[in-house]
Structure 1
Amino acid sequence: MDLEHVLSPLRVGSLTIRNRIATTAHMTGYAENGLVSDILVEYLTARARGGVGLLITEAGSVHPTYRPASYQLYRDDVGPGLARLAAAVHAEGAVLFGQANHGGAASPPLPDGRPAYSASDNDGLNGAPARAMTHAEIAEIQDAFVHAAQVMSDAGLDGCEVHGAHHYLVNHFLSSLYNRREDEYGGSFDNRLRFAAEILERMRAETRPGFVLGVRLSADIGPGGIDSEVMLAIGQALQERGLVDYVGFSLGGRTPEAFPLMTGGMERPAGYELPWNELPSRGLSLPTLVTGRYRTLEQADEAIASGAADLIGMTRAHIADPDLVRKTTSGQAARVRPCIGCNECQRSIITEGAIRCAVNPALPGAGTTGDLPFPIRRARRVTVVGGGPAGLEAARAAALAGHTVTLFEETDELGGVARRAARVMPNAAGMLDAIAWSEREVRGAGVDVRLGVGATVDAVLATSPDLVIAATGSVPKPGARQTARPGAAVAGAHLPHVMHSREVLGLTTVPAAAVVVDEIGEYEALGVSEMLVERGAQVTFVTPFASVGLRADATGRPSTALGRLRAHGRFTALPLSMVVAINGTAVDVEDLLGHTVSTHEAGLVVMVTRTAPSRPSWTARLGVPVEYVGDAVLPRSYRTAVLEGYVAATRIEELCGTEQGATSEARA
């Protein structure tokens, strides 16, 4: 495999990085009480051990007026943890930069209700107020940035990156969209640059010799913001003044054009940010770093060979598999667990406060594909019933731990409903990658895979199991019941053109008009709608939630899907609504607030509703412990299914000691 460009060393400032792969700064939520934790050290060190050349830590807060779920560089006791992290990463041969940041108008609200800081009076994240900083406050925050770099330098980190992107404070000073000051920190280009330039100038003077300095920039996109030419001008000005050793380019801020592109989903190709970042990247003589859903070393090598950049950020790819570089360079590229671009990592930071991954259940921690909590004391015979995401992960992890595993799947292929859905839903190919990887790993681990074989008492007992893991999935519920009135059946729900979303996956033709009823709020209903619209249907989208794809909003995928759907001109959304009656050609929809009823044409009604766990009664007659996982416990998400399969595999010896017929639900 010829990867000469991406695997070649790179000189950045006084340092040599062993290859051109970086993990860029990204919030993990693994810091504890504002300090570097053991889990954060383990997480970053695993990626260094896996072969990454440059790791940039998550953004550390430089001042008490910005309190993200990260470590706090203004604390007197933060240094020892950073030193421990640096030593661990260096021991694995990688380079470690920190990132210094102040959130400005994007800061979480402060407990005392003070307004956030910004270059000018700007509304911040979720409309929270931010006011223009005084000169005294500017000096205080600049001091805090410089102090942060000193802390990193003293702790043994190799460099510091100033975060000047993504709607944060430094970005607000750089951007004419947010900086409307009339003093020496606003107005002209040089004045808007002053805040960042003064920080970097003092960092250079007050850190140890050879300490690398960089800056991260991003395009705002949209009228009045930072575009490619402005990013180039900023980079050139900092380069000419000798203030930075490299520049990293990203994409996205809070403008409606930019925000959906900040973390591109599975519909985005590798290098999707280059139309904005290639011009400034090529225009600098300093080393540059770009990002944009790069998932393989081949993709990164191509970008570097073209001259588009010197370093490639592969952050989400290394959340999914920290051993990406090592596996690829050792001839095991097919064993790299693929990032599918679902952005579950982004959602979990927002909703749970820490990174989780749909395909990597071993997080938090190192999160390698070989992670198991403890070595087994005795190999067991394990039979897995069901070859969907939960069953595949249970079989993979159990075999990896050393158990003898048999997998029953009654259909002629593995992957379950997830595979069937990914085949027909537009922009969902990432799911197929994940399932294909799981299948390869299961077969490579020596699992006895029996396709097209229905599991029965006799068939299962013939495998002499010590434990049965039942990943038997779920089935659609009859009728068209909705959460707004859970006890009320919808008139006409029995009609043949009323289908559950799973049934729609097999349609070969679609009618001219369809109603999609979303009772879950995840991406599934959007995927079904896009499939119908692309096949020519006019879709009316009915949901009881206040917005379309509400529960998936933190992934960023609903907004991009809505953009595509609206572009077709055949999509209408009715939030805060429910279906009250269905006939052969139309659907009556009630507004949940005003209780008015409107009628909409529909030759097809798709119910995207929670399915019911499928638990075969024969499992109670096996006489061995049974552990239900995934949808068989309760239908939730792909991530949950994979996680529960993995957890069951790590608990096999414990589960073999449980009473016959015990289930995860019974123990809950």
Structure 2
Amino acid sequence: MSTAFPHLLSPLRIGKLTLRNRIVSTGHDTVLPMDCQVSPALIAYHAARARGGVGLIVLQVSGVHETARYTSHALMATDDSCIPGYRALAAAVHAEGAMLFAQLFHPGREIMETADGMQAVAYSASAVPSERFHVMPRALSESEIAALIAGYAAAAWRIRTAGLDGVEIVASHGYLPVQFLNPRLNLRTDGYGGDFDGRLRFLREVVAAIRAAVDTDCVVGLRISLDERDSEGLQQDEALQACAALQEQLDYVSLVAGTSASLGGAVHIAPPMAFPAAYLATPAGRFRQALSIPLLLAGRINQPQEAEQLLAHGVVDACGMTRALICDPELPNKVARQQPDAIRACIACNQSCIGRFHRGLPISCLQNPLAGRELQFGVLTPASTPRRVMVAGGGPAGMQAAVIAAQRGHQVTLYEATEQLGGQVLLAQQLPERAEFGGLITNLQYALRAAGVEVVLRRRVDRTLVQQQAPDVLILACGATPAIPRLEVGGSLPVHDSWDVLQGASVGARVVVSDWRADWVGPGLAIRLAEAGHQVTLAVNAPLMGQALPMYVRDQLAARLHQLQVAILPYARLYGVDDHTVYLQHTASEEAMLCEDIDSLVLCQPPQPDDALRQQLDGLGLEMHAIGDCQTPRTAEEAIYEATRLAWQL
């Protein structure tokens, strides 16, 4: 056992089951099921994490009733046809030494979509609307409640019959069980409402029905938000009271935070990098003092050091490290081998995990494109013929391509024109609460060293160098350069590019940030300038600020911009400037929009691909591939994916 992580790697007893360690992949949507059943892609995804050494995998939610279809790609455990898929998944996970639980789920009023695009009929304890999805539910009758409780029990029986080790009742994030428990949502006057015992009755009967449906070796747990972080949501004392009342019926409690019902509460479902690591440790400590059964905790626990500290201090008994395991499935094995520095650390960018889910796309990871694509990529194999590979550009695309190519056995040299690897990430990490984004480069630098890539800094690749080195393959990863838009200029208003401001250019007291990109750069600069005392207007060429961002990142930024009193102008196309005025045009009405008494304009415009080297080398007859922003500027996700796909095949 690693001396650095004795608690994290120690076994844990839950019910009659023993986990090999205390690292948990908690339930999370993947968009990998097919026809609402377990698919080969879902099996391959979880098998990879089991192979990586995780102790417990909790499967994404499984609907317990036809009214529980909260998305068109949820798992459903409502009839026996689901059993073979669950059985195949359990066999794959067990073969790698991990345990597998399934989440039993009903969203109540928190319904996102239906398969045919129609608005769903939603059900809840009472007819109280959901603010986030703008859904008005209808109150469940007592006979409907009985049918739902029977659905929980039948789903648990099917899942246990398939060979899974346990089930987890989802009472977190404002879903149906806590719609009964929450006195602000449960307005019933029958036996399922009123005082605490009445509001707890639904959840208590669900647990009892599940217990009656499965054998005594089956683990039964509860997932609940320790605080929904919303004025109308379940409060910490209420959640704690419910857990204490139910603990004799349960084998464990799994704690998270937040609610699906509001924008501010939903941010905590997958808290972005603006939140501190392990930020729920203090409130979780209250639950630890009140409960005698095992306690799991999730919420920005991205590093084994953080998990070890929580366990060593007795805050919890196991740690949900879900996004960390998406990013690096081998995290537990690397900890066991005493190689924590080799872990590809999650940066909580949310771009490819929860961000892809919100776009209806299968799960992946910005840093680990293999996540969710295990069947597509397969196992990395040595190249049949090692080749000399030259990589031009040391941003994320070039670094990733160099790593994968070297891992396949090629002789790789990476050239970077500046004195530091990282490309635009070096700028991105300077934005407020984005410093962790720099972890992407830290991870890639470690991988470069481990793969044996030769790195040459302060050397720009040109035609002469290529002819001298005569590589078998040249990978162009030259990135992009700032582009100045066409403007009507009628005065001397200072105009700065965002890159210049991040590198220290000074701006005046009253600033317009013109945000064409609608991503994190514009709001990040606006926050940075506002925190420095500038009066800032963020003019966004999109219907809303952060339109291109994962919603939890966007909503966290929106909260901070509001706190700093940054004025936001949507639908704003930049047109021109004079001495103290920025002229904009409303993109829908085409009417003029003026920002007057302005001292500086900051541009967040689309950069242009750096295509100079490709043009220099035209006609050289060399095998050449372009990846990332030098193809066309996009995000680090596309850059790293393209680099991986190319180098995988060289």
Matches within 5 A, 1:617-636: 617-636=615-634
Q: For the Cα contact (< 8 Å) 1:540–1:600, is it kept in 2?
A: no
SS of structure 2 residue aligned to 1:325: helix
Matches within 5 A, 1:646-661: 646-652=644-650
Q: Pick the aligned partner of 2:231 from 223, 239, 253.
A: 223
TM-score when normalising by structure 2: 0.94
Measure how far apart 1:224 and its partner are: 4.5
1:428 and 1:250 map into 2 onto residues whose CA distance is: 23
SS of structure 2 residue aligned to 1:57: strand
SS of structure 1 residue aligned to 2:296: strand
Measure how far apart 1:591 and its partner are: 4.0
Q: For the Cα contact (< 8 Å) 1:5–1:304, is it kept in 2?
A: yes
Q: Pick the aligned partner of 2:249 from 243, 247, 262.
A: 243
1:373 and 1:624 map into 2 onto residues whose CA distance is: 25
Q: For the Cα contact (< 8 Å) 2:278–2:301, is it kept in 1?
A: yes
2:120 and 2:557 map into 1 onto residues whose CA distance is: 36
- AA in 2 matched with 1:94: A
2:636 and 2:502 map into 1 onto residues whose CA distance is: 17
- Provide closer, same or farther for how the CA distance between residues 202 and 350 of structure 1 changes in structure 2, counting only shifts above 3 A: same
Aligned to 2:370: 362
1:456-499 deviations in whole A, cap 9, x for unaligned? 112123332221110111122232xxxxxxxxx43129967222
Aligned to 2:242: 234
Aligned to 1:485: none
- Provide closer, same or farther for how the CA distance between residues 386 and 557 of structure 1 changes in structure 2, counting only shifts above 3 A: same
Q: For the Cα contact (< 8 Å) 1:406–1:463, is it kept in 2?
A: no
TM-score when normalising by structure 1: 0.92
Q: Is structure 2 residue 153 aligned with structure 1 residue 155?
A: no
Aligned to 1:509: 506
Q: Pick the aligned partner of 2:606 from 607, 610, 616.
A: 610
Measure how far apart 1:374 and its partner are: 4.8
2:126 and 2:399 map into 1 onto residues whose CA distance is: 53
Q: Is structure 2 residue 84 aligned with structure 1 residue 80?
A: yes
Matches within 5 A, 1:127-142: 127-142=134-149
User: Which stretch shows the higher mean deviation, 643-652 or 222-231?
Assistant: 222-231
1:19-67 deviations in whole A, cap 9, x for unaligned? 1111110001111111111111111121112121111001111222232
Measure how far apart 1:375 and its partner are: 4.3
Q: For the Cα contact (< 8 Å) 2:311–2:317, is it kept in 1?
A: yes
1:66 and 1:461 map into 2 onto residues whose CA distance is: 63
Aligned to 2:97: 93
2:187 and 2:617 map into 1 onto residues whose CA distance is: 68
Q: For the Cα contact (< 8 Å) 1:589–1:600, is it kept in 2?
A: no
Q: For the Cα contact (< 8 Å) 2:279–2:300, is it kept in 1?
A: yes
- AA in 1 matched with 2:89: L
Aligned to 1:413: 420
- Provide closer, same or farther for how the CA distance between residues 526 and 113 of structure 1 changes in structure 2, counting only shifts above 3 A: closer
1:545 and 1:266 map into 2 onto residues whose CA distance is: 24
Q: For the Cα contact (< 8 Å) 1:109–1:116, is it kept in 2?
A: no
Aligned to 2:106: 102
Measure how far apart 1:583 and its partner are: 1.8
Aligned to 1:490: 487
Q: For the Cα contact (< 8 Å) 2:581–2:594, is it kept in 1?
A: no
Measure how far apart 1:94 and its partner are: 1.4
Q: For the Cα contact (< 8 Å) 2:5–2:335, is it kept in 1?
A: no
2:361 and 2:298 map into 1 onto residues whose CA distance is: 24
SS of structure 1 residue aligned to 2:104: strand
Aligned to 1:51: 53
SS of structure 1 residue aligned to 2:288: helix
Q: Is structure 2 residue 301 aligned with structure 1 residue 294?
A: yes
User: Which stretch shows the higher mean deviation, 528-537 or 445-454?
Assistant: 528-537
Q: For the Cα contact (< 8 Å) 2:334–2:340, is it kept in 1?
A: yes
2:545 and 2:355 map into 1 onto residues whose CA distance is: 16
Q: Pick the aligned partner of 2:484 from 478, 482, 491.
A: 478
Aligned to 1:456: 462
2:625 and 2:289 map into 1 onto residues whose CA distance is: 55
- AA in 2 matched with 1:264: P
2:646 and 2:562 map into 1 onto residues whose CA distance is: 43
Aligned to 2:580: 585
Q: Is structure 2 residue 277 aligned with structure 1 residue 270?
A: yes
1:233-271 deviations in whole A, cap 9, x for unaligned? 1111111xx321001111111235422222211121121
2:492 and 2:382 map into 1 onto residues whose CA distance is: 54
Q: For the Cα contact (< 8 Å) 1:282–1:307, is it kept in 2?
A: no
1:42 and 1:597 map into 2 onto residues whose CA distance is: 53
Q: Is structure 2 residue 354 aligned with structure 1 residue 346?
A: yes
1:278 and 1:131 map into 2 onto residues whose CA distance is: 37
- AA in 1 matched with 2:623: P
- Provide closer, same or farther for how the CA distance between residues 297 and 508 of structure 1 changes in structure 2, counting only shifts above 3 A: same
Q: For the Cα contact (< 8 Å) 2:24–2:54, is it kept in 1?
A: yes
SS of structure 2 residue aligned to 1:58: strand
1:319-374 deviations in whole A, cap 9, x for unaligned? 10001111122122111111111111111011133212111111224499x96555
Q: For the Cα contact (< 8 Å) 2:354–2:550, is it kept in 1?
A: no
2:536 and 2:336 map into 1 onto residues whose CA distance is: 47
Aligned to 2:536: 539
Q: For the Cα contact (< 8 Å) 1:355–1:363, is it kept in 2?
A: yes
- AA in 1 matched with 2:515: D
Q: Is structure 2 residue 46 aligned with structure 1 residue 38?
A: no
CA RMSD of aligned residues (A): 2.0
Q: For the Cα contact (< 8 Å) 1:62–1:100, is it kept in 2?
A: yes
- AA in 2 matched with 1:608: C
- Provide closer, same or farther for how the CA distance between residues 92 and 563 of structure 1 changes in structure 2, counting only shifts above 3 A: same
1:418-444 deviations in whole A, cap 9, x for unaligned? 11331x211112221110110121122
Measure how far apart 1:209 and its partner are: 2.1
Aligned to 1:184: 191
Q: For the Cα contact (< 8 Å) 2:264–2:555, is it kept in 1?
A: no
2:258 and 2:631 map into 1 onto residues whose CA distance is: 39
Q: For the Cα contact (< 8 Å) 1:45–1:366, is it kept in 2?
A: no
- AA in 1 matched with 2:568: A
Matches within 5 A, 1:191-202: 191-202=198-209
1:517-544 deviations in whole A, cap 9, x for unaligned? 1112111111121222222221110013
SS of structure 1 residue aligned to 2:488: coil
Aligned to 2:219: 212
Aligned to 1:663: none
1:495 and 1:451 map into 2 onto residues whose CA distance is: 39
Q: For the Cα contact (< 8 Å) 1:24–1:314, is it kept in 2?
A: yes
Q: Is structure 2 residue 523 aligned with structure 1 residue 526?
A: yes
2:608 and 2:232 map into 1 onto residues whose CA distance is: 51
SS of structure 2 residue aligned to 1:96: strand
Measure how far apart 1:651 and its partner are: 2.2
SS of structure 1 residue aligned to 2:389: strand
User: Which stretch shows the higher mean deviation, 490-499 or 572-581?
Assistant: 490-499
Q: Pick the aligned partner of 2:443 from 433, 437, 443.
A: 437
Matches within 5 A, 1:544-559: 544-554=541-551, 556-559=552-555
Q: Which runs of 5+ in 1 are unaligned?
A: 480-488, 653-668
Aligned to 1:311: 318
Aligned to 2:404: 397
Q: Pick the aligned partner of 2:68 from 66, 69, 73.
A: 66
Aligned length: 637
Measure how far apart 1:275 and its partner are: 4.1
1:609 and 1:129 map into 2 onto residues whose CA distance is: 41
Aligned to 1:641: 639
2:160 and 2:492 map into 1 onto residues whose CA distance is: 70
Aligned to 1:483: none
SS of structure 2 residue aligned to 1:126: coil
SS of structure 2 residue aligned to 1:77: helix
Measure how far apart 1:596 and its partner are: 4.7
Aligned to 1:3: 5
- Provide closer, same or farther for how the CA distance between residues 547 and 284 of structure 1 changes in structure 2, counting only shifts above 3 A: same
